[in-house]
Amino acid sequence: MANLNIDAQAQNTYDAIVIGSGISGGWAAKELTGKGLRTLVLERGRDVRHVTDYPTTMMQPWEFEHRGQLTREVKDANPIVSKCYAFYEGTQQFFVKDAEHPYIQEKPFDWIRGYQVGGKSLLWARQTQRWSDFDFQGPARDGYSVDWPIRYADLAPWYSYVERFAGITGNKDGIDTLPDGEFLPPHEWNCVEKHFQKAVAGKYKDRHVIMGRAAHITKPQPIHLQQGRAQCQHRTICERGCPFGGYFSSNASTIPWAAKTGKMTLRPNSVVHSIIYDEKKGRATGVRIVDANTKQMQEFYARIIFLNAAALNSNLVLLNSTSNRFPNGLGNDSGVLGKYVAFHNYRAGISAQFDGNLDSTTDGRRPNGPYIPRFRNVYKQETDFLRGYAAGFSAGRISRSNQDAIGADLKQNLLNPELGGWHVGSHMMGETIPKETNYVALDSSLKDPFGIPQLKIAIAYDDNDDKMVKDYQEQMTEMFTAAGFTNIRVRDDHRNPGLDIHEMGGARMGKDPKTSMLNKWNQLHAVKNVFVTDGACMTSTSTQNPSLTYMALTARAADYAVKAMKKGEV
């Protein structure tokens, strides 16, 4: 019997375990297997293989039963995820349905999730800007949250490293709030976007309108062809999964790359319950899972563990990993685990018309758009709110037809639409401030279908966010006016936190183990062989999209982990 157990244990032992196969977990898998480690990737959802498991990717608009619209049944059953702009008839298979994975909203929070191999990397909008020193210095400057243990320089080479592999399109713009990267050719502007860019440059020295940086292969390099990926075809139906691998997803890129090493074991339908801590050894020895099909518990063992379940779920796993040594969650000597969660604020927007450039229009589609980097409170504190916001921007014309008539005239009108004028629009992407009162915790009684405590989420906007919304509306109105746009309308949709899908923090990085969970290598201060490199590790949120930074942090931490392991340090 004893021998059998040892055999079973040996069979379930790997060099490394990665929890989650989304954007960050995919990178952990690629880096660890690439460095020769036998790596087990545990993913709670089902397998989704590139191309063959994208059921709607080749469907024509008329082939959808409801031509894309959600049914009442789906909407009624899913009031939360139905609010997400990307959730429609062609994409619903990649989103978590409300009832399947319950959580508790202590305050309203729309938690948007993708539980499958690839996680949310199948669904994301692919905006990928580097963070700058202004972002990593933010907390030290204004005293909110704690100081980051790293600076831009620590991450810069790793940004380059992941950008080259993922394939990022953009311009080198030479803007200090938004460092340049390793770019493929940029997407094209249209004339009204160019007009706005000039108008803004003419009026403000410190405000820029640039072409968005996005994870699309505009010109495949050998490294992309080796991954089996091809040039982006501008279909703009990316969220259904792209058969060309035109955008970066774990499914098209990192996971198959890791598989090719022969070192990866991918185990879908494996819901991680907790990380096992061995008090005698003073280290984590493995992971406990609930098999989603059999509901049986099982254990797997490894020298190092990468936790990449996406920000809030990584908090959940740590909180649920209790032992005598860590009664309040793994590595939680500081008591900050689950606290100081922050997010992005996309509440506000603005739209307008432009009466110029009526002799020109656009042709084709573009899976990206212009971007306005942060310009508020950069060099000095100039407003009554902390930090700042970035913004998306785009212009376009829509065809319209007179639909008043009926009969043959109507038909004639419909088939001969007239081009309307130019419409312009923008939305804000604001940084929120991490606060102790914005937290997640485990509910003491309610369990999920796998017997794991449900996550309780208490996250809200504050006065700083409201002031920022107002400032965005005022400043953009001023910029739109300067560009000669008319019929300007601002909005604040008062959406719930969460819908912006950039939740971060809870297991933040920091220099001091008394006030943070992770050190500068994303290692738990107190359990050196556990690394957390998804959004949970973020000390503050910046105004830029976060996922590229998760990729860079993951690659950097994996490099460190393997070296440390070889030196016998972890």
Partner 1 sequence: MAVAAGALISLPGWAKGWTAETVQLSHNFLSRSQDDLLADIVETIIPATDTPGAKALNVHQFIQKIVVDCYDPSAQDTFRKGLTTVDELAGKTFGKSFAEGNTTQRTTLLTQLSQSTDPAQKEFYSMVKGLTIRGYMNSEYVMTNLTHYQMIPGHYYGCVPVPTKAVSQTK
Ligand X SMILES: Cc1cc2nc3c(=O)[nH]c(=O)nc-3n(C[C@H](O)[C@H](O)[C@H](O)COP(=O)(O)OP(=O)(O)OC[C@H]3O[C@@H](n4cnc5c(N)ncnc54)[C@H](O)[C@@H]3O)c2cc1C
Q: Which residues bind partner 1 (CB under 8 A)?
A: 46, 51-63, 65-67, 69-73, 89, 92-93, 187-191, 193-194, 233-235, 237, 243, 357-366, 403, 406-408, 410-411, 414-417, 419
User: Which of ligand X, ligand SF4, partner 1, none does 238 bind, CB closer than 5 to 8 A by kind?
Assistant: ligand SF4
Question: Distance from CA of residue 537 to its chain's centroid?
Answer: 13
Return the closest-CA partner of residue 124 out of 135, 113, 111.
Answer: 113
* Interface region with ligand SF4, contact rule CB under 6 A, candidates 234-242, 332-340, 386-394, 539-547: 234-242
Which helix (H) or strand (E) segment is 259 a member of?
A: helix 254-260
Residue with smaller CB distance to ligand SF4, 3 or 60: 60
Residue with smaller CB distance to ligand SF4, 230 or 482: 230
Instruction: Count the residues of the shown chain that bind ligand SF4, applying the rule CB under 6 A.
Output: 13
What residues from 34 to 93 belong to the interface with ligand X (CB under 6 A)?
Answer: 42-45, 84, 86
Instruction: Count the residues of the shown chain that bind ligand X, applying the rule CB under 6 A.
Output: 40
User: Which of partner 1, ligand X, ligand SF4, none does 257 bind, CB closer than 5 to 8 A by kind?
Assistant: none
Q: How far is CA 248 from CA 22, 59, 74, 165, 279, in A?
A: 11, 21, 29, 9, 40
Residue with smaller CB distance to ligand X, 30 or 195: 30
Nearest distance, CB of residue 483 and ligand X, angstroms:
25
Nearest distance, CB of residue 231 and ligand SF4, angstroms:
8
Count of other CB atoms within 10 angstroms of residue 455: 25
User: In this structure, which amino acid lies at residue 468?
Assistant: M
Residue with smaller CB distance to ligand SF4, 220 or 367: 367
- List 30, 120, 195, 216, residue binding ligand SF4 (CB under 6 A): 216
Contacts of 257 by beta carbon, 8 Å cutoff, 6+ apart: 30, 34, 227
CA distance 558 to 145: 26
- List 82, 121, 177, 539, residue binding ligand X (CB under 6 A): 121
Nearest distance, CB of residue 193 and partner 1, angstroms:
7
Return the closest-CA partner of residue 341 out of 519, 455, 504.
Answer: 504
Return the closest-CA partner of residue 390 out of 156, 209, 535.
Answer: 209
Q: Which residues of 482-492 are buried (b: 16+ CB within 10 A; e: fewer)?
A: ebebeebebee
User: Which of partner 1, ligand X, ligand SF4, none does 504 bind, CB closer than 5 to 8 A by kind?
Assistant: none
Residue with smaller CB distance to ligand X, 215 or 433: 215
| Residue that is written with structure tokens 């014309």 in the block | 397
Question: Distance from CA of residue 148 to its chain's centroid?
Answer: 20
* Interface region with ligand SF4, contact rule CB under 6 A, candidates 242-250, 387-395, 415-423, 546-554: 242-250
Q: Which residues of 84-93 are buried (b: 16+ CB within 10 A; e: fewer)?
A: bebbbbbbbb
Contact 549, 128 (CB under 8 A): no
What residues from 361 to 380 belong to the interface with ligand SF4 (CB under 6 A)?
Answer: 367
Contacts of 211 by beta carbon, 8 Å cutoff, 6+ apart: 170, 171, 186, 187, 189, 368, 370, 371
Residue with smaller CB distance to partner 1, 153 or 408: 408
- List 92, 233, 298, 357, residue binding ligand SF4 (CB under 6 A): 233
Is there binding between residue 247 and ligand SF4 (CB under 6 A)?
A: yes
CA distance 336 to 355: 53
Contact 192, 485 (CB under 8 A): no
Residue with smaller CB distance to partner 1, 104 or 191: 191
* Interface region with ligand X, contact rule CB under 6 A, candidates 14-22, 157-165, 176-184, 386-394: 14-22
Nearest distance, CB of residue 253 and ligand SF4, angstroms:
12
Nearest distance, CB of residue 563 and ligand SF4, angstroms:
35
Residue with smaller CB distance to partner 1, 233 or 298: 233
* Interface region with ligand SF4, contact rule CB under 6 A, candidates 153-161, 231-239, 291-299, 558-566: 231-239
CA distance 472 to 490: 10
Nearest distance, CB of residue 357 and partner 1, angstroms:
8
Contact 155, 162 (CB under 8 A): no
Q: Which residues of 391-403 are buried (b: 16+ CB within 10 A; e: fewer)?
A: bbbbbbbeeeeee
* Interface region with ligand SF4, contact rule CB under 6 A, candidates 166-174, 232-240, 316-324, 524-532: 232-240
CA distance 98 to 89: 16
Contact 315, 536 (CB under 8 A): yes
Nearest distance, CB of residue 77 and partner 1, angstroms:
11
- Distance from the first to the final alpha carbon of the chain: 31
Binding mask 430-469 for ligand X (x = CB under 6 A): ----------------------------------------
Contact 544, 389 (CB under 8 A): no
Nearest distance, CB of residue 355 and partner 1, angstroms:
14
Binding positions for ligand SF4, rule: CB under 6 A = 216, 232-238, 242, 244, 246-247, 367
Binding footprint of ligand X on the chain (CB under 6 A)? 19-25, 42-45, 84, 86, 112, 114-116, 119-121, 123-127, 271-272, 308-310, 313, 317, 501-502, 534-535, 545-547, 550
